[in-house]
A and B are shown apart, each in its own frame.
Chain A
Amino acid sequence: MTQPLSAAGKAVSLDDYQPVVGTAEVEETRALAQRLASRSVKMVNSTAVGGGVAEVLNRLVPLLCDVGLPTSWEVMTGGNDFFEVTKAFHNALHGLSYETSWQAFELFLTYTEQNLQRLSFDADFVVIHDPQPVALVKARQSGAAHWAWRCHIDISNPQPLVWDFLGQFVRRYDAALFSSPNFTRSLPIPQYLFFPAIDPLSQKNQELDADFIRSTLEKFSIDPKRPILTQVSRFDRLKDPLGVIEAYKLVRKYKDCQLVLAGGGAADDPEGGQVLSEVRAAAEKDPDIHVLELPPWSAVEINALQRAATIIIQKSLREGFGLSVSEALWKKKPVVASAVGGIPLQVIHKLTGLLTHSVEGTAYQIRFLLSNPAIAARLGENGHEHVKENFLITRNLKRYLLLFLTLCGAA
C-alpha cells in the first residue's frame, strides 16, 4: 500500500537552523532554491521508520518544501518475502555470499510492478533511494523529468549477478549519488558525492538537560561515575556488535569501563532479532555490558546515551555511511571507528577521531583515549566542526539544490 508522506503537517523551516549554521548560510541556500522556481520533487524509499534514510527524509522533505520546492515522499511497499529478497540483495551488494535465483529476481520485479501501478511520477525531479525501489525507473518517460538514484550503501564489491540485475536499472537514471567515492561502480552516468546528514534540531541531536541524561542512565542501570563505551546501531552483523564486545573485554584488562550497545531493528531488516540473541548470549555473564533494544521512538534516549558516553565506538565491518558517527561527533564525543565505508569521511584519523582495522586496534585506541582525556576532547571539538561543515541536514538540502540545478542545466 502506498503511504503518502508529504510533510505538509510539519512546520519545520530552514530559518529554525539559523542559530546553528548562521544567517548567511540560510540566505545563500534560499538564493539557490529561488533559481529552481518552484519545481517539484518526489522522493521514494522503502521504509518510513528506522534506519538513516528515513531519518534524513523525514526532515529533508519539509525543508525542500520550505525553500519553495513542492516535495512529496512515498514509500515502496511489499510483503515480508520482498524485504527478505531485498535484504539478501543488500548483503550481496555488500559482497556477502548469496545464492541468486530467478524466483528472487521475479519477485523483485513483481513488487516493482505493483508499486508502479500505485505511484505517480509527475514531479520535475525524482530521487529514488537505495536498491529496493531502483526499478521504478521503468516509469520514466523520455524528457519528462530528471531522475537520480541515491545509493546509501557501499556497492564497490558486489556479487556480480545481483549487480548485473540491478545495474541495468541504474543506467537509466540521469545521475547516481553516492555517500563516498569508494562506493561506486563504473557507470555511464554522472556520479556525485552526496553525504547523508544529521539534523541538529531533532530529538536525537538536540541539547539535553544534564538531569535527563542522568535519569536515562539510571533507567538503564548504567553507572554515571565510570567510563562508558557506547555503540549505537542496529543489531546487524555488519555493525559487528560481537566484535565490540571482544574489544571491550580487551580494554577491561587495563581499564575499568562499561559497554552500552544500543539500537533497534528497522522495518525492512528481518535478520535483526537473530543477531540480538547472539549479542545477548555473548554479554550474558557481564553486568557491565548493557544491551539495549530500543523501539523506533527512542531518539531522545539515544541522544542521552550518546551524550553520556565517554567514547563512542562504531566498529562496522561494512558501512553505508554510518550516521551515528556524525551524531557522536556533533555531540563533541571522541570516536573510535572502523575505517570502512563512509566512516573515514567523518573520522579523519588523529584529527576528528581515531580509525581502526581490528578488534585489537579498537581496544588499543579506546585505552589511549581513556588515558588521554585532553586529546579525546580536542578530537571531539574538531569533529563537531567537521560535522557542521559537511554533514548537517542544511548542507544536504544545499547539495540537492545544486544537483537539481546541475541536472536541469542551470548550474
Chain B
Amino acid sequence: MAASTLLRITGQRATNLAELLEGIRGCSDATIFNHTFQSLEQHHFLTEGFSNDFAQWALAACNEPQLAERLASLDIRHYETLAALRADLVAAMESYLRQVPEAAYRKGFEPFYFSEAVIVTVPTPWQVRTLAEFCEALAHVSIHTLHYHFVAARLRTPPTNDFSYWLGDSLGLKELAERIDEIDIYTNTLEGVREHILEEASAWLTLG
C-alpha cells in the first residue's frame, strides 16, 4: 500500500512546556502519531536534530536540551499503541517539570502548533510472493510506502514491521525478519533504511 498524508491544523497550540504537556495529554491519537511517527517521515533525509516534533520544540524553542533528549529517546519502535506512547511522553514531561519547575511557564521562542495526520492509502501495483520479488518492489516503492510498512506498521502489526511480519510468517525467514527489524530508523535516513533492508535481503538471496 502507498500512504499519503494531509495535515489537519487542530487549532491547539502551546507557548510553554506546561501548555505542551496539557496539549499532549488532551490531543487526538492522530496528533500524537503525526508528531512522532509521521515527523520521522517528513524529515527522513536528516539524521541531525530530533525526529520527534515535541523534542525538537523543547530544544529549539524552549532551550531545554535535557528534556529534548528524554523525549527523543522514546523509541517509537517499542510502542504498540499510541496510548502507551502518549503516556510515556506525559511521564517524561511531568518528571522533568518536577525537577525543573521554573521551566514550565517560561515562554518558548515560538509556539508549538498541534496538527493531526489524515492518512489516505491506495494499493500499489506491487504484489510479491518471493524474496526476489520483494527486493525488486522495495527498490521501486516511494519513501512514503517504505515509512508506511516499516515505521507506521508497528501500530498495526505489533511488535514488528510489515516486512518482517511477512518475511517471517509467509516465507519462514525468521532470522532475516529479525535482522531487518533491528535496522535503526533514527541513525539512518529512510533511504539508508531501504539500502540496509536490500543489503540484508540480497545477502539472503545470494546464500540461496
Name the residue on B nearest A388 (C-beta): B45
Q: How many contacts A-B (CB < 8 Å)?
A: 91
In the bound complex, residues from chain B placing their C-beta under 8 Å from that of A25 are 142, 144
**A193 to B9 Cα, complex, angstroms:** 6
Q: Nearest-CB distance from A18 to chain B (Å)?
A: 12
Structural contact, B45 and A385, CB atoms closer than 8 A: yes
Which residues of A393-410 have CB atoms within 8 Å of chain B's CB atoms? 398-399, 401-403, 405-406
29 contacts between A and B (CB under 8 A): A22-B142, A24-B2, A24-B145, A27-B2, A27-B125, A28-B124, A28-B145, A32-B4, A181-B113, A182-B111, A182-B113, A184-B11, A191-B8, A191-B9, A192-B7, A192-B8, A192-B9, A192-B118, A344-B110, A351-B48, A351-B49, A385-B46, A386-B45, A388-B45, A398-B4, A402-B5, A402-B120, A406-B6, A411-B120
Interface residues of B (CB under 8 A from A): 2, 4-9, 11, 13, 42-46, 48-49, 60, 110-111, 113, 115, 118, 120, 122-125, 140-145
Structural contact, A382 and B45, CB atoms closer than 8 A: yes
Name the residue on A nearest B60 (C-beta): A349
In the bound complex, residues from chain A placing their C-beta under 8 Å from that of B111 are 182
In the bound complex, residues from chain A placing their C-beta under 8 Å from that of B145 are 24, 28
Structural contact, B115 and A32, CB atoms closer than 8 A: no
In the bound complex, residues from chain A placing their C-beta under 8 Å from that of B7 are 192-193
Structural contact, B9 and A348, CB atoms closer than 8 A: no
Q: Out of B9, B11, B118, which one reaches A406, CB within 8 Å?
A: B118
**A374 to B9 Cα, complex, angstroms:** 37
Structural contact, B6 and A28, CB atoms closer than 8 A: no
Q: Nearest-CB distance from A326 to chain B (Å)?
A: 15
Name the residue on B nearest A177 (C-beta): B9
**A344 to B44 Cα, complex, angstroms:** 18
Q: A28-B142, A191-B8, A191-B9 are in contact. List 13 more A-B contacts (CB 8 A).
A: A27-B124, A28-B4, A31-B2, A32-B120, A32-B122, A181-B113, A348-B43, A351-B48, A351-B49, A389-B42, A389-B45, A402-B4, A402-B6
Interface residues of A (CB under 8 A from B): 22-25, 27-28, 31-32, 34-35, 178, 181-182, 184, 186, 190-193, 339, 344, 348-349, 351, 382, 385-386, 388-390, 398-399, 401-403, 405-406, 411
Q: Nearest-CB distance from B87 to chain A (Å)?
A: 25
Name the residue on B nearest A187 (C-beta): B11
Name the residue on A nearest B141 (C-beta): A24
Q: Binding site of A, secondary structure by majority: helix, strand, loop or mixed?
A: helix
In the bound complex, residues from chain A placing their C-beta under 8 Å from that of B49 are 348, 351
Structural contact, A181 and B124, CB atoms closer than 8 A: no
Instruction: Contacts A389-B45, A390-B42 given; indicate if A178 touches B9 (C-beta within 8 A).
Output: yes
**A242 to B125 Cα, complex, angstroms:** 54
Name the residue on B nearest A382 (C-beta): B46
**A405 to B4 Cα, complex, angstroms:** 11
Q: Nearest-CB distance from A189 to chain B (Å)?
A: 11
In the bound complex, residues from chain B placing their C-beta under 8 Å from that of A401 are 4
A-B pairs, 8 with minimum CB distance: A181-B113, A385-B45, A193-B7, A24-B142, A402-B6, A28-B2, A31-B122, A191-B9
In the bound complex, residues from chain A placing their C-beta under 8 Å from that of B2 are 24, 27-28, 31
Q: Nearest-CB distance from A346 to chain B (Å)?
A: 13
In the bound complex, residues from chain A placing their C-beta under 8 Å from that of B42 are 389-390
Instruction: Contacts A24-B145, A32-B4 given; indicate if A184 touches B122 (C-beta within 8 A).
Output: no
**A67 to B68 Cα, complex, angstroms:** 43
Q: Out of B11, B46, B118, which one reaches A402, CB within 8 Å?
A: B118
**A389 to B6 Cα, complex, angstroms:** 14
Q: Nearest-CB distance from A122 to chain B (Å)?
A: 25
